[in-house]
Amino acid sequence: MTAPNPDTPAVETTALRKIYPGIDGPPKEALKSVDLSVKPGSVFGLLGPNGAGKSTLINILAGLVVKTSGSARILGWDIEKNMRQARTAIGIVPQELNLDAFFSPREVMELQAGFYGVPKRERRTMEILTALGLDDKADVYARSLSGGMRRRLLVAKALVHSPPVVILDEPTAGVDVELRQSLWDYMKELNDAGTTILLTTHYLEEAEEMCDEIAIINHGEIIAQDTTSALLARLDRKEAHITVDRDINSLPEGLSGPGVDAEIRSPRELLIRFPPSQVHMGTLLDAVKKAGLEISDLSTRDTDLEEIFVALTSSSGDGLPPTRSGDPQAGTLEKSRTRPDP
């Protein structure tokens, strides 16, 4: 199925709102007024901490949760007025591993293909299972599959009708490093072949590695939407850790300037934060040397999404990242799970 117009967003929501009725407590407004626009052909990340409203949004798109107000379109098809076209345009990989234990992967795929009315001769059951490394498990009961295999089967199942838009809700939550990498590779392959990917995640590393564009959601509100590189550049901040050959008595003169913030971390270690667009790193190193210190080690770190998230959600709202030792009130995103802390 093709989009009515190549510029039509793959996914678009307008003032989308969801209020869950409270059972024991007050009603919960899970989505406040969400405007989102996903470019066709992109890998788009919806990044936010647990409880932010990611699954609610995805489940509305999937037709599993009924919105309270606002609208949503998939490739221009309204999820309510053009429900059939909208459902055909997307493949959804849910967060929960909801598979019938007594079906084999082959049966799961065939049932799903039947559900979407894919003619037998057009079915790609084994091709998709093979691509996800499940070909040798095609005929075993789903209940005997490992968690990682079930996750892959959910991805396979979402692809039976070759949807132009694939939506994955926390595709790598709780999966091991190896599977995560292979799922990422497979998502990239799908995207290279023209599929638009919308994924939700609370892992910063996943958003950074996978996504062309990111929307950050917190408490049911989109607080930023931009290209990944623009988001990362938004906070003009870099850190330099400098180790020197002798104990530092006082901060070298010259480690100052607009936006420069230096501190002595340990007797022989300096931490300098600076805005790279205004202050040259060479200038800072010169200042250290001028103070008679010999630099024995140096490492730098760019701003990461966590700092951006914290800056965007911090009450001060001055747009500057708090210090690392600060007490960010909303630091509940998960940091990289593979990179060691710098």
Ligand X SMILES: Nc1ncnc2c1ncn2[C@@H]1O[C@H](COP(=O)(O)OP(=O)(O)O)[C@@H](O)[C@H]1O
Under rule CB under 6 A, residue 48 binds ligand X: yes
Partner that binds at residue 30, options Mg ion, ligand X, none, CB closer than 5 to 8 Å by kind:
ligand X
Q: Which is nearer to ligand X, 60 or 90 (CB)?
A: 60
Q: Residue with the closest Cβ to Mg ion?
A: 55
State which of residues 8, 19, 28, 256 lies at the interface with ligand X (CB under 6 A): 28
Q: Kindly tell me which of 220 and 321 has the beta carbon lying closer to ligand X.
A: 220
* DSSP string across 197-259: EEEEESBHHHHHHH-SEEEEEETTEEEEEEEHHHHHHHS--EEEEEEESS---SPPTT--STT
Number of residues in contact with ligand X, rule: CB under 6 A? 11
Residue 52 interacts with ligand X (CB under 6 A)? yes
| Cα 64 from Cα 66, distance rounded (Å) | 7
Instruction: Out of 53, 91, 148, 171, name the contact with ligand X by CB under 6 A.
Output: 53
Judged by beta carbon, residue 52 or residue 99, the one nearer ligand X is: 52
Amino acid 225 reads Q
Q: Is 270 in the site for ligand X (CB under 6 A)?
A: no
Which residue, 68 or 181, is less far from ligand X as judged by CB? 68
Helix count and strand count (H, E) for the chain: 10, 14
The residues with which 19 forms a beta bridge, in sequence order, are 29
Locate tokens 């049911």: which residue?
220
Between 51 and 259, name the residue whose CB sits nearer to ligand X: 51
- Piece of 43-51, 103-111, 227-235, 313-321 that binds ligand X (CB under 6 A): 43-51
**Which residue among 3, 16, 36, 56 contacts ligand X (CB under 6 A)?**
56
9: partner contacted, choices Mg ion, ligand X, none (Cβ within 5-8 A by kind): none
45 binds ligand X (CB under 6 A): no
50 part of the interface to ligand X, by CB under 6 A: yes
CB of 172 to ligand X, least distance (A): 14
Q: In the stretch 213-252, what mask flags binding to ligand X with x, by CB under 6 A?
A: ----------------------------------------
**DSSP bridge pairs for 167:** 92, 198
Q: 28 touches which of Mg ion, ligand X, none (CB within 5 to 8 A by kind)?
A: ligand X
**Torsion, CA 48, CA 52, CA 55, CA 59, rounded to 10:** -130
**CA proximity to 209, closest of 92, 304, 331:** 304
Tell whether residue 32 is a contact of ligand X (CB under 6 A). no
Question: How far apart are the C-alpha atoms of 105 and 99, rounded to whole Å?
Answer: 10
The contact set with Mg ion (CB under 5 A) reads: 54-55, 95
Please say which residue, 13 or 55, places its beta carbon nearer to Mg ion.
Answer: 55
Q: Any idea of the CA torsion for 132, 137, 140, 146, to the nearest 10 degrees? A: -70
Closest CA to 263 of 273, 255, 275, 271: 271
Q: What angle do CA 300, 303, 308 make, to 5 degrees?
A: 165
Strand (E) or helix (H) holding 301: strand 295-302
Site string for ligand X, 150-189 (x = CB under 6 A): ----------------------------------------
Name the residue among 150, 164, 59 with its Cα closest to residue 105. 150
Identify whether the C-beta of residue 10 lies closer than 8 Å to the C-beta of residue 73. Answer: no
Place of tokens 């990989």: 93
What are the residues binding ligand X (CB under 6 A)?
A: 20, 28, 30, 48, 50-56
